[in-house]
Amino acid sequence: MVQGQSPTASRFSTRQKIAEHRKSLPIASVEKRLIEEVNNNDILIIVGETGSGKTTQLPQFLFSAGFCREGKMVGITQPRRIAAVTVAKRVAQECDVPLGQRVGYSIRFDDSTSSSTRLKYMTDGLLLREALLDPLLSRYSVIIVDEAHDRTVHTDVLLALLKMIQRARSKPVNERSEIGNASGENGVQRNGVLRGCQGRKVSPLKLIIMSASLDARVFSEYFGGAKAVHVQGRQFPVDIFYTAHPESDYVDAALVTIFQIHLEEKPGDILVFLTGQDEIESVERLVLERLKHLSEDKRKLQPLAIFSALPSEQQMRAFAPAENGFRKVILATNIAETSITIPGIRYVIDPGFVKARTYDPKKGMESLDVVPASKAQTLQRSGRAGREGPGKCFRLYPESEFAKLEDSTKPEIKRCNLSNVILQLKALGIDDIVGFDFIDKPSRGAIVKALAELRLLGALTDDGKLDDPVGYQMSRLPLDPVYSRALIRANQFNCLEEMLITVAMLSVESIFYDPREKREEARTSRNHFASIEGDHLTYLSVYRELDEFLEKKKSAGGANKIDKSMKKWCINNFVNNRSLKHARDTYRQIREHVEQMGFNVSSCGNDLLEFRRCLAASFFLKAAQRQLDGTYRALESGEVVHIHPTSVLFRAKPECVIFDELMQTSKKYIKNLTRIDPLWLPELAPHYYKAEE
Ligand code: ADP
Ligand code: MG
């Protein structure tokens, strides 16, 4: 008989290990005190070093202390999807329960909760959406806003909303009328109406704000001098190294550093901070490529990607210990700064950049740019190397550059297009946006611009009220207002199926896979999908072809091998398998939403002219016209822009296009384009284009 541990014994030892791990965390020694503080304070701010156990432990403490009695839940919000998922999985494991039962998560397009869920991890954006359905968030006894230092636009809005909800819930039942007055007509059940708060018995709400940074003052002041407690962390010294000169290509510099560490330094995993999926996937490939040139005994390096759009089973791989003798190199976005802690890291490589949203309300231009990280972010990054022992951090820029970094990142609400948020606030019955109690007020210009945009999209009436039904319908869709509007339009144009696919494809990064070493081959393969009408139609044909291929496979009886077939098809066609999976999921979810709204998903088949007209009618605010010198002028802002080289229209340069995204790198680029007839604009968006004449 084979000798070995029985499954029961192995489970027992895992449980014991987890129990020991939990006990060893800095937060464990202050459990009693924290619960006392929560009992004594309706609002509590908890500040603690990353990795001290705030996110995984506090909800469990609250559960044990009885905060989930009578079916109540503790809700924990995260700015990032991936953090909500990984932490929920970890906590379920710690509690030794199946995920989705007592411990669950809910993020946009992915819900793993049930009626028995008591500890619910979710994105801050998702909780905002829940407030549309349950204005007092009455199922929660405690809400923990985690990673508040991140100051995402959703966190900021959520803080303001929770402040109102808490006040409403602490009032006697018959005095609750403070929030919510938008009510739909026609007797239709409306989302986001803060109705029904009167006369209903809802117990008070506890609020906990958690943050990794040391500056709790801003939150404390915002909540009227709320109490802040600090949880001491454990941090080992980290040696910081800088480069002698600026690096012209930080991706290449990161690669060189990875191999230097791998070949010269003691064991310990490496964490590299990159800016996005494309960059991560390219470094992942390059690491594997370069490993082939090393001798067998030096090849024990395992690259692992971690970014939000990564399917969750792949995300979890980063947490598992490396195979025997292997060194892991985790390629992550800034998600690994504070949201998630991966054990085993001793070396950090920090090129010093981050992808950030910027917005210019005057020009109505939002863009996602790679910019230098702030000092606060840089410090958090190096800190990741000193969690379990002394570590090293390699900053890929000269020391003199460090002093020039901004102290901290500007709150997102001050640098993003506000139309999405304002639409949600309007749907919650909050009409006075300028007077709304934001922790940091967005500029008046940005608010005015967003209101104007929502009016042009038909979400708001001329006097700034939520339009019935378009505004309500738009606020129900968990999408950017332009996309929501496009779906509603598509319903009228009988091309909802095509628009659903398009919106799903536009919601994912990097549809095509473009390996450096096979550029030509990839390009030829892409030509096969390319539509002379532009990128939207090209994506549509990728999606449809894959769909047809999978249908055939299914009918040939290979349903259980679908995943494999899909992967193979994607590799053969130079399409990004991860992104396509994500797009297919997204499609299914949005389709469910529109069907629930009573829309009938019809297709225009091959009449793509109608679909292009629908694109023009939907994206009329993002139209650009070719100028004599071959550049384009964005019609709304008047900016000079260029077609991005990845667009299928890069060479064709049609006279007039609509675009999805404007991005500033070395130039101002427009991405994801469709050729349109310029006469369609005044025809299909007369309220905008006729008024201009
Ligand atoms: P904080 O929120 O204070 O930053 P966390 O509660 O996220 O801390 O993490 C506490 C500890 O739990 C960390 O030391 C981390 O290594 C460990 N941990 C968290 N998630 C996982 C996971 N998925 N797998 C293994 N360990 C984990
Ligand atoms: Mg945390």
Ligand 2 centroid distance, CA of 326 (Å): 27
pLDDT reported for residue 192:
39
CA distances from 489 to 1, 423, 496, 498, 671 (A): 68, 18, 8, 12, 22
Which amino acid is residue 181, in one-letter code?
Answer: N
Enclosing H/E stretch for 499: helix 496-506
For 318-411, strand residue ranges (E) read 327-332, 345-350, 353-360, 365-372, 391-395
Give backbone dihedrals phi and psi of 631, rounded to 5 degrees, phi first: -85, 175
Could you give the count of Cα atoms lying within 13 Å of 66 in the half-sphere of its Cβ? 2
User: Can you tell me whether residue 104 is helix, strand or coil?
Assistant: strand
Ligand 1 centroid distance, CA of 318 (Å): 13
User: Can you tell me whether residue 68 is helix, strand or coil?
Assistant: coil
Give backbone dihedrals phi and psi of 527, rounded to 5 degrees, phi first: -55, -30
CA distances from 87 to 22, 119, 269 (A): 14, 11, 21
Ligand 1 centroid distance, CA of 57 (Å): 9
Three-class HEC string of 424-474: HHHHCCCCCCCCCCCCCCCCHHHHHHHHHHHHHCCCECCCCCECCCHHHHH
Q: How far apart (Å, rounded) are the C-alpha atoms in residues 194 and 391? A: 51
CA distances from 371 to 50, 193, 275, 418 (A): 24, 39, 9, 21
Q: How far apart (Å, rounded) are the C-alpha atoms in residues 305 and 317? A: 9
Q: For residue 147, is it left (φ>0), alpha (ψ between -120 and 50) or beta?
A: left
ipTM: 0.98
Q: How far apart (Å, rounded) are the C-alpha atoms in residues 31 and 22? A: 11
Q: What is the pLDDT of residues 457-510, one digit of tens each?
A: 999 999 999 999 999 999 999 999 999 999 999 999 999 999 999 999 999 878
CA distances from 610 to 199, 534, 606, 676 (A): 50, 14, 9, 11
Q: Count the neighbouring beta carbons within 10 Å of the beta carbon of residue 559.
A: 11
Ligand 2 centroid distance, CA of 340 (Å): 6
pLDDT reported for residue 172:
66
Q: Give the torsion sign (CA, 39, 42, 46, 51).
A: positive
Q: What is the pLDDT of residues 368-396, one digit of tens each?
A: 788 999 999 999 999 999 988 999 999 99
Ligand 1 atom closest to Cα of residue 52: 3
* CB distance 55 to ligand 1 below 6 Å: yes
- Chain length of the chain: 693
* CB distance 344 to ligand 1 below 6 Å: no
* Closest Cα to atom 19 of ligand 1: 341
* CB distance 211 to ligand 1 below 6 Å: no
- The single residue listed with the structure tokens 């299909």 is 684
User: Can you tell me whether residue 494 is helix, strand or coil?
Assistant: coil
pLDDT reported for residue 194:
46
Ligand 1 atom closest to Cα of residue 146: 2
Positions of the chain with pLDDT lower than 70, given as ranges: 1-9, 11, 172-201, 214, 312, 516-517, 557-560, 691-693
Q: Which ligand is nearest to the CA of 91?
A: 1
The best mutation among 56, 58, 209, 330 to test binding of ligand 1, ranked by most ligand atoms within 8 Å of the C-beta, falls on 56
Q: 455-490 burial, b for 16+ CB within 10 Å, e for fewer? A: bbbbbbeeeeebbbebbbbbbbbbbbbbbbbbbbbb
User: Can you tell me whether residue 179 is helix, strand or coil?
Assistant: coil
Q: How far apart (Å, rounded) are the C-alpha atoms in residues 523 and 651? A: 14
Q: Which ligand is nearest to the CA of 56?
A: 1
pLDDT reported for residue 531:
94
* CB distance 391 to ligand 1 below 6 Å: no
Ligand 2 centroid distance, CA of 78 (Å): 9
Q: For residue 557, is it left (φ>0), alpha (ψ between -120 and 50) or beta?
A: left
Name, in order, each residue with C-beta under 8 angstroms of 294's C-beta and a sequence gap of 6 or more. none
Q: Count the neighbouring beta carbons within 10 Å of the beta carbon of residue 96.
A: 12
